Amino acid sequence: ILNVEQSPQSLHVQEGDSTNFTCSFPSSNFYALHWYRWETAKSPEALFVMTLNGDEKKKGRISATLNTKEGYSYLYIKGSQPEDSATYLCAFPHSGNTPLVFGKGTRLSVIA
C-alpha cells in the first residue's frame, strides 16, 4: 500500500511569519510529486509538479524542494499572509500511468 504522509496536520502562524511543512513518500520508483493548495469553498489549485531529485520550484512567496532519495518534499511559505490560509495537499503516483495518491493535507491558518 502506497502511503503519502504530511506533517504537521495543522499549523497556526502569525501574519509575516515564514513556515514550512513536509510531505513524505516512498523513495523507490519515484516518478513525480504534486503540491496543491485548497482554499475553503474553492477548487484545489496546482502549485507545483516536481520530477527531479534536487528540484526547487518557486511561485511568488511559495517554494518547494524535493529529495527523492530520502523520500520527502518541503513546502515553504515566506512572510505568510491571511490569504495563504488553506489546506496544502501533496500527491504521489507510483508511475506515469498510476493514479495520484494524496496525503491528508496540512491545514494552515494565518492570523492577522
Which range touches another protein (CB under 8 A), out of 12-20, 38-46, 62-70, 76-84? Answer: 38-46
Among 17, 63, 67, 101, binds another protein (CB under 8 A): 101
| 32 is an interface residue for another protein by CB under 8 A | yes
| 55 is an interface residue for another protein by CB under 8 A | no
Instruction: Name every residue whose Cβ is closer than 8 Å to that of residue 43 and which is 6 or more positions away in sequence.
Output: none
Residue 83 in 3-state DSSP? helix
Binding site for another protein (CB under 8 A): 4, 31-32, 34, 36, 41-46, 49, 51, 89, 91, 93, 95-105
